[in-house]
Amino acid sequence: GIQVEQSPPDLILQEGANSTLRCNFSDSVNNLQWFHQNPWGQLINLFYIPSGTKQNGRLSATTVATERYSLLYISSSQTTDSGVYFCALTGGYQKVTFGIGTKLQVIP
Amino acid sequence: NAGVTQTPKFQVLKTGQSMTLQCAQDMNHNSMYWYRQDPGMGLRLIYYSASEGTTDKGEVPNGYNVSRLNKREFSLRLESAAPSQTSVYFCASRGTGTPNYGYTFGSGTRLTVV
Protein backbone atom coordinates (compact mmCIF):
# COMPACT_ATOMS: atom_id res chain seq x y z
CA GLY A 1 0.00 0.00 0.00
CA ILE A 2 0.88 3.65 -0.05
CA GLN A 3 3.49 4.76 2.45
CA VAL A 4 3.03 8.19 3.99
CA GLU A 5 5.74 9.97 5.92
CA GLN A 6 5.25 13.23 7.74
CA SER A 7 7.99 15.43 9.06
CA PRO A 8 8.93 16.68 11.49
CA PRO A 9 7.16 14.46 14.05
CA ASP A 10 7.26 17.21 16.65
CA LEU A 11 7.64 20.96 16.37
CA ILE A 12 7.73 23.73 18.96
CA LEU A 13 7.33 27.29 17.75
CA GLN A 14 7.36 30.68 19.35
CA GLU A 15 4.16 32.56 18.63
CA GLY A 16 4.58 34.58 15.45
CA ALA A 17 7.04 32.20 13.82
CA ASN A 18 6.52 30.48 10.47
CA SER A 19 6.76 26.77 9.79
CA THR A 20 6.63 24.20 7.01
CA LEU A 21 5.25 20.70 7.48
CA ARG A 22 6.01 18.04 4.94
CA CYS A 23 4.17 14.96 3.71
CA ASN A 24 5.98 12.48 1.44
CA PHE A 25 4.15 9.63 -0.20
CA SER A 26 5.29 6.58 -2.07
CA ASP A 27 2.85 6.27 -4.95
CA SER A 28 0.58 8.28 -7.18
CA VAL A 29 -2.55 9.49 -5.44
CA ASN A 30 -6.03 10.54 -6.40
CA ASN A 31 -6.37 13.06 -3.66
CA LEU A 32 -4.57 14.48 -0.68
CA GLN A 33 -6.05 16.25 2.30
CA TRP A 34 -4.58 18.10 5.27
CA PHE A 35 -6.27 18.03 8.67
CA HIS A 36 -5.72 19.74 11.97
CA GLN A 37 -6.60 17.86 15.14
CA ASN A 38 -7.01 20.39 17.90
CA PRO A 39 -6.13 19.67 21.54
CA TRP A 40 -9.78 18.65 22.16
CA GLY A 41 -9.54 15.92 19.54
CA GLN A 42 -11.65 17.47 16.81
CA LEU A 43 -10.42 16.81 13.26
CA ILE A 44 -10.75 19.89 11.09
CA ASN A 45 -10.54 19.83 7.33
CA LEU A 46 -7.84 22.28 6.18
CA PHE A 47 -7.24 21.60 2.51
CA TYR A 48 -8.24 19.19 -0.16
CA ILE A 49 -5.24 19.51 -2.48
CA PRO A 50 -4.35 16.71 -4.91
CA SER A 51 -2.12 19.13 -6.81
CA GLY A 52 -1.23 22.79 -6.98
CA THR A 53 -1.35 25.45 -4.30
CA LYS A 54 -4.15 26.73 -2.10
CA GLN A 55 -4.26 29.39 0.55
CA ASN A 56 -6.63 30.04 3.43
CA GLY A 57 -5.64 32.93 5.65
CA ARG A 58 -2.34 32.18 7.36
CA LEU A 59 -2.28 28.64 6.03
CA SER A 60 -1.32 27.48 2.59
CA ALA A 61 -0.56 24.13 1.03
CA THR A 62 1.27 22.94 -2.04
CA THR A 63 1.20 19.46 -3.54
CA VAL A 64 3.66 18.37 -6.21
CA ALA A 65 2.12 15.09 -7.23
CA THR A 66 4.85 14.23 -9.76
CA GLU A 67 7.46 14.44 -7.00
CA ARG A 68 5.17 12.86 -4.40
CA TYR A 69 5.16 15.42 -1.68
CA SER A 70 2.95 18.05 -0.13
CA LEU A 71 3.83 20.99 2.09
CA LEU A 72 1.70 22.82 4.61
CA TYR A 73 2.84 26.34 5.49
CA ILE A 74 1.79 28.08 8.66
CA SER A 75 2.67 31.74 8.86
CA SER A 76 2.59 33.99 11.93
CA SER A 77 1.71 31.04 14.13
CA GLN A 78 -0.74 31.44 17.00
CA THR A 79 -1.32 29.33 20.10
CA THR A 80 -4.59 28.16 18.55
CA ASP A 81 -2.55 26.47 15.81
CA SER A 82 -1.34 23.91 18.36
CA GLY A 83 -2.37 20.32 17.80
CA VAL A 84 -1.56 17.55 15.36
CA TYR A 85 -1.48 17.99 11.60
CA PHE A 86 -2.27 14.97 9.43
CA CYS A 87 -2.09 14.40 5.74
CA ALA A 88 -4.31 11.70 4.27
CA LEU A 89 -4.12 10.16 0.84
CA THR A 90 -6.31 8.07 -1.38
CA GLY A 91 -4.42 5.99 -3.90
CA GLY A 92 -6.71 3.43 -5.42
CA TYR A 93 -10.45 3.63 -4.90
CA GLN A 94 -11.20 3.98 -1.19
CA LYS A 95 -7.69 3.00 -0.13
CA VAL A 96 -7.05 5.73 2.39
CA THR A 97 -3.81 6.17 4.26
CA PHE A 98 -3.13 8.67 7.01
CA GLY A 99 0.31 9.79 8.09
CA ILE A 100 1.05 9.60 11.81
CA GLY A 101 1.04 13.37 12.03
CA THR A 102 3.16 16.33 13.07
CA LYS A 103 2.55 17.50 16.62
CA LEU A 104 2.82 21.27 16.79
CA GLN A 105 3.06 23.30 19.97
CA VAL A 106 2.98 27.08 19.72
CA ILE A 107 4.16 28.82 22.85
CA PRO A 108 3.37 32.44 23.75
CA ASN B 1 -25.42 22.40 11.54
CA ALA B 2 -24.57 20.16 8.62
CA GLY B 3 -21.96 17.53 9.32
CA VAL B 4 -21.28 14.16 10.88
CA THR B 5 -22.85 13.30 14.22
CA GLN B 6 -21.49 10.51 16.41
CA THR B 7 -22.96 9.06 19.55
CA PRO B 8 -22.02 8.48 22.29
CA LYS B 9 -19.07 10.79 22.97
CA PHE B 10 -17.73 8.69 25.83
CA GLN B 11 -18.26 5.07 26.85
CA VAL B 12 -16.77 2.67 29.34
CA LEU B 13 -17.35 -1.05 28.78
CA LYS B 14 -16.40 -4.15 30.64
CA THR B 15 -14.55 -6.85 28.75
CA GLY B 16 -17.04 -9.00 26.86
CA GLN B 17 -19.81 -6.42 26.71
CA SER B 18 -21.22 -5.30 23.39
CA MET B 19 -22.14 -1.89 22.09
CA THR B 20 -22.97 -0.01 18.92
CA LEU B 21 -21.49 3.33 17.92
CA GLN B 22 -23.86 5.41 15.87
CA CYS B 23 -22.96 7.79 13.04
CA ALA B 24 -25.16 9.94 10.85
CA GLN B 25 -24.37 12.52 8.18
CA ASP B 26 -26.66 15.03 6.54
CA MET B 27 -24.50 16.05 3.58
CA ASN B 28 -25.88 13.46 1.17
CA HIS B 29 -22.44 11.81 0.97
CA ASN B 30 -22.16 8.38 -0.58
CA SER B 31 -19.12 7.12 1.31
CA MET B 32 -18.81 6.64 5.05
CA TYR B 33 -15.95 5.38 7.19
CA TRP B 34 -15.03 4.24 10.66
CA TYR B 35 -11.52 4.92 11.96
CA ARG B 36 -9.79 4.31 15.22
CA GLN B 37 -7.05 6.52 16.58
CA ASP B 38 -4.43 5.23 18.97
CA PRO B 39 -1.51 7.22 20.40
CA GLY B 40 1.40 7.50 17.97
CA MET B 41 -0.41 5.55 15.23
CA GLY B 42 -2.46 8.11 13.40
CA LEU B 43 -5.86 6.98 12.14
CA ARG B 44 -6.49 3.46 10.92
CA LEU B 45 -9.45 2.44 8.82
CA ILE B 46 -11.72 -0.19 10.37
CA TYR B 47 -14.54 -0.46 7.80
CA TYR B 48 -15.95 1.67 5.07
CA SER B 49 -19.06 1.87 2.98
CA ALA B 50 -18.64 3.19 -0.54
CA SER B 51 -22.38 3.51 -1.02
CA GLU B 52 -25.65 2.52 0.57
CA GLY B 53 -25.89 -1.25 0.75
CA THR B 54 -22.15 -1.98 0.56
CA THR B 55 -19.51 -2.37 3.24
CA ASP B 56 -15.86 -3.41 3.08
CA LYS B 57 -13.07 -4.15 5.50
CA GLY B 58 -10.32 -1.66 6.10
CA GLU B 59 -6.96 -2.10 7.74
CA VAL B 60 -8.09 -3.29 11.20
CA PRO B 61 -11.56 -4.93 10.95
CA ASN B 62 -11.15 -7.78 13.44
CA GLY B 63 -13.56 -7.58 16.36
CA TYR B 64 -15.92 -5.16 14.62
CA ASN B 65 -19.01 -5.28 12.46
CA VAL B 66 -20.77 -2.50 10.59
CA SER B 67 -24.16 -1.73 9.14
CA ARG B 68 -24.97 0.86 6.51
CA LEU B 69 -28.57 1.35 7.53
CA ASN B 70 -29.35 3.90 4.83
CA LYS B 71 -27.49 6.65 3.03
CA ARG B 72 -27.29 8.76 6.20
CA GLU B 73 -26.35 6.22 8.84
CA PHE B 74 -23.36 3.93 9.36
CA SER B 75 -23.02 2.08 12.66
CA LEU B 76 -20.07 0.23 14.19
CA ARG B 77 -20.67 -2.69 16.53
CA LEU B 78 -18.35 -4.32 19.01
CA GLU B 79 -19.80 -7.74 19.78
CA SER B 80 -17.45 -8.67 22.62
CA ALA B 81 -15.30 -5.76 23.69
CA ALA B 82 -11.64 -6.31 24.53
CA PRO B 83 -9.15 -3.97 26.23
CA SER B 84 -7.27 -3.73 22.91
CA GLN B 85 -10.31 -1.92 21.53
CA THR B 86 -9.77 0.98 23.92
CA SER B 87 -9.36 3.86 21.49
CA VAL B 88 -10.92 6.97 20.06
CA TYR B 89 -13.29 6.17 17.22
CA PHE B 90 -14.07 8.57 14.41
CA CYS B 91 -16.76 8.36 11.81
CA ALA B 92 -16.27 10.22 8.55
CA SER B 93 -18.10 10.79 5.32
CA ARG B 94 -16.94 11.86 1.90
CA GLY B 95 -18.70 13.21 -1.11
CA THR B 96 -17.64 12.96 -4.72
CA GLY B 97 -16.84 15.73 -7.10
CA THR B 98 -15.24 19.05 -6.34
CA PRO B 99 -15.62 20.78 -3.93
CA ASN B 100 -17.02 17.99 -1.78
CA TYR B 101 -14.40 15.34 -2.30
CA GLY B 102 -12.71 15.75 1.04
CA TYR B 103 -13.54 14.04 4.31
CA THR B 104 -15.71 15.40 7.07
CA PHE B 105 -15.18 13.85 10.50
CA GLY B 106 -17.43 13.47 13.47
CA SER B 107 -16.29 14.62 16.89
CA GLY B 108 -15.21 11.16 18.02
CA THR B 109 -16.16 8.55 20.61
CA ARG B 110 -13.70 7.86 23.39
CA LEU B 111 -14.12 4.21 24.34
CA THR B 112 -12.46 2.54 27.31
CA VAL B 113 -12.69 -1.21 27.81
CA VAL B 114 -11.78 -2.41 31.30
pLDDT digits (tens, 9 = 90+) for B49-73: 988 989 999 889 999 999 998 999 9
Instruction: Give the number of other CB atoms < 10 A from CB of residue A52.
Output: 10
CA–CA dist B57, B82 (Å, integer): 19
Give the pLDDT confidence of A73-93 residue by residue, as tens digits.
999 999 999 999 999 987 555
Confidence (pLDDT) at B59: 87
Q: In what order do the strands lie in the sheet with B74-78?
A: B4-7, B19-25, B74-78, B64-68
What's the rounded Cα separation, in Å, for the pair B33 and B37?
13
Measured CA distances, B33 to A83, B41, B90 (Å): 23, 18, 8
Condensed to tens digits (0 to 9), the pLDDT of residues B92-105 reads 998 776 454 678 89
Minimal C-alpha gap between B49 and chain A (Å): 9
Distance CA(B34)–CA(A28), nearest Å, equals 24
**A103, closest residue in chain B (CA to CA):** B40
Identify all chain A residues contacting B99, using CB atoms and an 8 Å cutoff. 48
Which of B103, B107, B110 to mutate against chain A (most A CBs within 10 Å)? B103
Residue A40: what pLDDT?
87
In this complex, which of B44, B50, B104 lies closest to A94 when CB atoms are compared?
Answer: B50
The partner residues of A47 in beta bridges, in order of sequence, read A34
Q: If you average pLDDT over every residue of chain B, what do you get?
A: 91
Q: CA nearest A17: which of A92, A78, A76? A: A76
Instruction: Let me know: does A60 contact A54? Beta carbons within 8 Å.
Output: yes
Instruction: Give the pLDDT of residue B102.
Output: 72
User: What pairing do the DSSP bridges indicate for beta strands B74-78 and B19-25?
Assistant: antiparallel
CA distance B2 to chain A (A): 14
B34 to chain A, any CB pair closer than 8 A? The answer is no
User: For residues A2 and A94, is the Cβ–Cβ distance under 8 A?
Assistant: no
- Give how far B40 is from chain A: nearest CA, Å: 7
Query: Count of CB atoms within 10 A of residue B96's CB?
Result: 10
pLDDT above 90 covers what percent of chain B?
Answer: 70
- Kindly tell me the sign of the dihedral angle through the C-alpha atoms of A18, A70, A99, A80: positive
